[in-house]
A and B are shown apart, each in its own frame.
Chain A
Amino acid sequence: MYCSCSAAFGDPANTHLCPVCLGLPGSLPRVNRHAVILGLKAARALHCEIPPMAQFARKHYFYPDLPKGYQISMYQFPLGTNGRLELLTEQDEATAPVGIERVHIEEDTAKLFHEGETGSLIDHNRSGVPLLEIVSKPDIKSAQEAVRYLKELRRLLRFLGISTANMEEGSYRCEVNVSVRPSDREQLGTKVEVKNLNSFRAVERSIEYEIERQTKVLRKGGEVRHATMGWDEKEGVTVHQRFKEKAPEYRYFPEPDLPELLIEGDILDDSAFDQENIPVRKVRALIERFGVPASGADLLMSGVGSPEENPYFITNFLMEAIVRHGAQGTQAANLMTGTVFEFVNRTGMTLDQTDLTPKKLADVTKMVGKNELSSTNAKRVVNVILEEGGKVKDIVLGEGLVQVSVEDELIELVKQVMEENEGIVETIRKGRVNAIGALVGEAMKKSKGQANPKRVNELLQEFILKKK
């Protein structure tokens, strides 16, 4: 954030050091412009009020992972306040957004490894790496909503290229504040802070645990004490770290080594983007305007099968197929969530590494629409393009997948089948209508799968049942 050391993850300890991030006497901070831009982008994507000026501030506390004895953060004048994160329900329906209290940027601490009996080891590689802090308002009312919030936020941050936001790698960290109050009370209850949450599951479980624990305390007539708890994943409980009777004394004051950050001009320009383009809005557009089934939308935005897990890649692809090349929305979406995803999951490849293009996808769905290709064979064609490559028409012809839909040919086929299976025809006429299936099967066998089974069925019904 304030020095030019590499932020690379996983290198040998203490190999990315400089006077600034090591906090050497005489060192001074120098702000990374890109971090500011990304922070502002996040604030704007979260619909925050963007102030004309932000200010860095020193936050003091003593700990071995904090070289200067203070962290250069932001306090009174963050990058944005009073915003919201738009959410969808599990059913991908619009729901109330979660308010965002503030967004600001700051520097990460060094990393401590506890050595057991002898103390700790300190690795400063991570010291000074830019951090984006996003604080939600107390709007979240359930553990599930909290997880949905975290997932949508992650999706947004990944989409905007702000962060890889990976909880397991430590690039997405969260702390939860939980309070409980009787339903008839306006004022919020005393909040308890829960740390050491390393997965969405931990977030969900810990919130549920705390809600239950605090409810029990209150029901017994007790008082919930303000405290910091750690989540114990193994035992499934929150454990006291400290009682915090008063707020910690950070001695915040404006950072004298850094002038004010005026949010104007090219800082604003470079952090601008199209608000309509954010993932949650894209999902809704896919569902409402392009007929993409709700269950598929979330999967399409997940980043699976995309280069660099770009959550927008697959949907871009799909949209291009639909909008530019006339693909049928539901079909195209189903082919993506079905065949394409099955392929990428199996092979580990990304879609851009295959021969499938939006036009080809559109061509396939158009053939199905014209009854030139059955749905089953559509999947097969797409699979071949993915596995081996090739042109749609070539594959359809080459593998003999052209669906016979020409009426005369079908009538001919049906008549033949009826002639060869008189016995079954009799049973059908006598009432066993289900047996038509067997005749359809015969027709398919005879046509080597190229007949349009739907039409065959219709014709059989017409000839057998209606002809009298």
Chain B
Amino acid sequence: MDVFNELSIEKLASELEKGRIHPREILRECSKRVSKVEPKLHALNRETLDRAQHAIENWTYDSARPFAGIPYIQKDNICTLGVATDCSSRILQGFVPPYAATVDARVVEQGFALIGKSNMDEFGMGSSTEYSAWGASLNPFDLSRVPGGSSGGSAAGVAAGYAPIAFGTDTGGSVRQPASFCGLVGLRPTYGRVSRWGLIAFASSLDTIGPITTTVRDAAHALSFVEGQDGRDSTVVNLPREDYFASIEKGIGDLRVGVLDVGMADWVDKRVRTVFNANVEWFKGHAKSVREVRIGCFDLLLAAYYTLAPSEASSNLARYDGLRYGPSVNIAEKGKSVDEATAGGLLDYYRKNRGQGFGPEVTRRILIGTFALSSGYYDAYYLRAQKVRTKLRAELDELWKNVDVIISPTAPAPPFKLGSALDDPMDMYRADLFVLMQPMSGCPAISVNGGWTDLDDDGFSKLAACREKSCFGKIVSRLPIGLQITAPPFREADLLRAARAFEREHV
């Protein structure tokens, strides 16, 4: 078995423990892949290979830190101490955080070595990574398609073998959907499980941080060492420590499964439907029970989410005024002195910085949000959207009486072509239809690879062999389709168990 072909933190840790490899070799292999593929893939905003080199310098195996020496990718909206963090936005260009996000500090404490900050949709707003100020990342399976978003760079990087693990952020599906588009595992934890300290805020009541990995067990490991109280995030819930590995291999013989019925005929791609139907059949053969479940307010979720998230975003992005961080002279007017560039006064300064610093999607959402929070519209938009959440929560509480998990496709279509969803913003928003239910209710969810499109059916432009060997030991010239499993709040143990059972028989 070539461990570099199936990068997984658990497997690498085992090899490191046995002394069969050294972190230096891992890093060398990953660096090779980065140099070969990154010029095309553009998954990273910046590489930190030197830093990683330094981090593994004095490595010796320590059973208390079994993952030490393993590379990881951090999404560029998570503050890394001393490493530039710009959320793929012009307005934060050059910002170097003087502090570390809790999640990053805990990852570093485990001994992981940062190899780069990943590209993303600006401030997390987007579902394709095309809204990055630094240009889109591409899907390693087909370079003419998107890797998903907003954590597209993280997913692309892991799928291309840069590192066995990356972290992303999931506000409206941004960990799960790119994981799905890149054939990986993406976990969105329950809101309140993982601290948001150091996560550059998009929508405060919807943002979560989650791992993007190649295996379910790796995701369980990652959750275990980043979750929990840190004394800084007031929304983190105090919970007793859970051992996910006590139950993760248990199987799903006792699990009651709900299949999300949303009248999928029209708007779900038939290839996705084919794969999903096969997935449902599998669950029927293994779970305790399978039944269809309906969410009454499903049709409201898009409007409610896209009112709420932009509202909170418009608030969280009000701090970007160019006075404390970010490029503060008019970006297009390089070469002007500070005095010249600020000669227009404060109002002009705000307008130029924010006008030029934010991309079109971010601008759009700031406008939506500012509107929805203004008096006169607050009741009809923001308040109503918050009420939809309550309604959804109530409906789900009813459902959870009869099912332990709910399954659905992660995305309504396989990874789409670059540029195909940019004309009408609503097209991009509709890509999120399956992944909004969880942020709006606080529930955790995981995306695992559910299957693939067929080669002939798809009309590939070219094979995208990003590695010398094939992906996961199989010939791949198809597009990945994700299966999403949702569980009640704080029931990640069941989530991981179900995902693991499925993965065991499908990879």
Contact = CB atoms under 8 A, between A and B. Distances in A.
- A–B in direct contact per CB < 8 Å: yes
Contacts of B79: 25-26
Interface string B111-137: 000000000000000000000000000
Contact of A251 (B320, B339, B342, B374): B374
Interface string B76-110: 00110000010100001001011101000000000
B200 interface: yes
Contact of B204 (A67, A251, A257): A257
A25 B325 contact: yes
Interface stretch (A27-35, A207-215, A379-387): A27-35
Interface stretch (B36-44, B191-199, B403-411): B191-199
A457 B485 CA distance: 106
Given A25-B95, A259-B234, A259-B235, A253 B318 contact: no
A256 B312 CA distance: 9
B231 interface: yes
Contact of A23 (B85, B196, B314, B324): B324
Given A256-B204, A257-B235, A259-B235, A28 B196 contact: yes
A253 B378 contact: yes
B315 A253 contact: yes
A28 B233 contact: yes
B244 interface: no
Interface string A39-68: 000000000000000000010101010011
Interface residues of B, number: 45
B234 A67 contact: no
A257 B234 contact: yes
B471 to A, nearest CB: 34
Contacts of A68: 318-319
A13 to B, nearest CB: 14
Contacts of B382: 253
B337 interface: no
B200 A25 contact: yes
Interface in B367-401: 370, 373-375, 378, 382
A434 B264 CA distance: 117
A24 B312 contact: no
**A interface, by DSSP: helix, strand, loop or mixed?**
loop
A257 B316 CA distance: 11
A249 interface: yes
Contacts of B200: 25-26
Given A25-B79, A26-B200, A253-B378, A60 B315 contact: yes
A24 B101 CA distance: 12
Interface string B194-219: 00111111001100000000000000
A70 B318 contact: yes
A69 interface: yes
B416 interface: no
Contacts of B98: 19, 24
A253 B373 contact: yes
B32 to A, nearest CB: 33
Nearest to A254: B386
B315 A70 contact: yes
Nearest to B101: A26
B378 A28 contact: no
B148 to A, nearest CB: 23
B201 A26 contact: yes
Interface string A319-341: 00000000000000000000000
Contacts of B323: 64, 122
B99 A24 contact: yes
Contact of B231 (A27, A30, A122): A30
Interface string A9-28: 00000000001001111111
Nearest to A122: B323
Given A26-B201, A28-B233, A249-B374, A69 B99 contact: no
B226 to A, nearest CB: 15
Contacts of A257: 204, 233-235
Given A251-B373, A251-B374, A253-B373, A69 B97 contact: no
Interface in A346-398: none
Interface in A90-137: 118-119, 122
Contacts of B373: 60, 251-253
B504 interface: no
Interface string A238-274: 0000000001010111001111000000000000000
B339 A118 contact: yes
B288 interface: no
A138 B298 CA distance: 49
Contact of B321 (A26, A31, A69, A119): A69
B346 interface: yes
B350 interface: yes
Contact of B324 (A22, A29, A31, A118): A22
Contacts of A19: 98-99
Contacts of B311: 253
**Residue from B235, B321, B382 with most neighbouring chain A CB atoms (10 Å):** B321
Nearest to A27: B197
A23 B235 CA distance: 18
B250 interface: no
Contacts of A62: 318, 321, 350
A3 to B, nearest CB: 10
B201 A23 contact: no
Interface in B42-91: 78-79, 85, 87
A24 B325 contact: yes
B197 A28 contact: yes
B232 interface: yes
Given A58-B315, A68-B319, A69-B321, A24 B97 contact: yes
A251 B320 CA distance: 17
Contacts of A249: 374-375
A64 B234 CA distance: 27
Contacts of A29: 234
Nearest to B198: A26
Given A25-B87, A247-B375, 10 more contacts: A23-B319, A25-B95, A25-B319, A30-B234, A60-B373, A62-B350, A119-B342, A251-B314, A257-B234, A259-B234
Interface of B: 78-79, 85, 87, 92, 95, 97-99, 101, 196-201, 204-205, 231-235, 311-312, 314-315, 317-321, 323-325, 339, 342, 346, 350, 370, 373-375, 378, 382
Closest 9 CB pairs of A and B: A69-B318, A256-B204, A251-B373, A256-B205, A25-B200, A26-B198, A68-B319, A26-B79, A69-B319
11 contacts: A22-B324, A24-B325, A25-B85, A26-B97, A26-B200, A29-B234, A60-B373, A64-B323, A122-B323, A251-B314, A253-B315
